[in-house]
Amino acid sequence: MGRVYKRGRGGASATMGRAFAARQSGAETGVGGVEMGKRMDDRVTGLEERIAGLERMIDDLSDVIARQDKEIETLTARVAFLLEREAGREAEGGGGVILGDERPPHY
C-alpha cells in the first residue's frame, strides 16, 4: 500500500520557541524585566522540551504503525494464498470427508 506514516524529525517548533523567547526577553524593560524574561525563557525552554519529547513519541508510534501496516499486508497476502490453495483443493475433490469406519489417509 502506498501509505507513509513516517514524519521528519526536528522541527520549526523549537526554532519558533527560541525566536519567541528572544522577542519576549528583549521586550521586557523596567524593574524586574530581566527576572521576568528569565522566567519566560525557562517556561519556553520547558515547553520546547515537552514538544520535543512528544515529537519523538509521535515518530516512534509512526514507526510502529508503519511496521504493523507491512505485517498486515504480509498476513493478508498469506491468507489470500491459503484461500486460493484451499479452493483449488476443493475443486480437485481431494478434500474428502472421512466416513465412519474409514481410516484417515495418514495411517
C-alpha cell at 89: 483443493
Residue range 32-86, pLDDT digits in tens: 677 888 999 999 999 999 999 999 999 999 999 999 999 999 999 999 999 999 9
SS3 state of residue 52: helix
C-alpha cell at 82: 491459503
Q: What's the whole-model pTM score? A: 0.50
The single-letter DSSP state of residue 101 is: T
Question: CA separation (Å) from 1 to 34, 54, 84?
Answer: 55, 27, 21
Within 8 A by CB and 6+ apart from 5, the residues are 62, 63, 65, 66, 69
